[in-house]
């Protein structure tokens, strides 16, 4: 199984070539792992402008 991260929104998916959320391309070259459960109560999600709960990378190349 290969995890990929969207180069635009940084959401992590299982082996998808394009992001189902925003449609941008994905990359296997990412680092950092962030799980957002409640974006409305999370200071980190507000700072990173994350609106949906899910798994995100911190850096995508």
pLDDT at 7 (0 to 100): 97
pLDDT at 1 (0 to 100): 67
pLDDT at 23 (0 to 100): 95
> Closest by alpha carbon to 60, among 31, 38, 37?
31
CB atoms within 10 A of CB 48: 14
Domains of the chain, residue spans:
3-60
Of the CATH numbers 3.90.226.10, 2.20.28.90, 3.40.50.620, 3.30.465.10, which one belongs to the domain with range 3-60? 2.20.28.90
Question: For the chain (length 61 residues), average pLDDT per consecutive 10?
Answer: 93 94 96 97 95 97 94
């Amino acid at each position: 199984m290969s995890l990929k991260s969207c180069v635009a929104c940084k959401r992590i998916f299982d082996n998808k070539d394009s992001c189902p959320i925003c449609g941008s391309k994905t990359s296997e070259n990412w680092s950092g792992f962030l799980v957002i459960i409640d974006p409305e109560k999370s200071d980190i999600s507000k700072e990173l402008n994350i609106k949906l709960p899910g798994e995100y990378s911190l850096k995508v190349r």
